[in-house]
Amino acid sequence: MKFNLAKALLGTAALASAASNAAQAQQTRQTPKNWRYEVDQRGNRVDRPNRVTKPDGSWREETRQGNCVAIRERSASGEYRETRECNPATPRLRIISPR
């Protein structure tokens, strides 16, 4: 009886360890650097910001959100600027018939 109980406890501990290792491996999964998006905890795609840093310490970052582009910039002197540009995806064409 004691031998079976020990086997059961050992088996339960092994299963718990395997489950925690699988969960840990799933959390540390990252997308490759050349992809434009990351995958969040729910499995949704989230655009990755595109940041370019210059040697003087200034940087510029672009993030796309639908039809909009958010641009964040910081100069070497510490000035911060954030702009947002939204453009329609495709402009509608109006067809004018000749009279």
Non-local (6+) Cβ contacts of 98 within 8 A are none
Per-residue pLDDT of the chain (99 residues), as tens digits, is 555 766 665 666 655 565 555 555 555 567 787 787 888 888 888 877 788 999 999 999 988 877 888 999 999 999 999 999 988 655 555 566 666
Burial class (CB in 10 A: 0-12, 13-18, 19+), 69: middle
| Model confidence, pTM | 0.48
**Residue among 81, 34, 90 nearest 62 (CA):** 81
pLDDT at 87 (0 to 100): 81
**Residue among 71, 73, 67, 74 nearest 84 (CA):** 71
pLDDT at 32 (0 to 100): 80
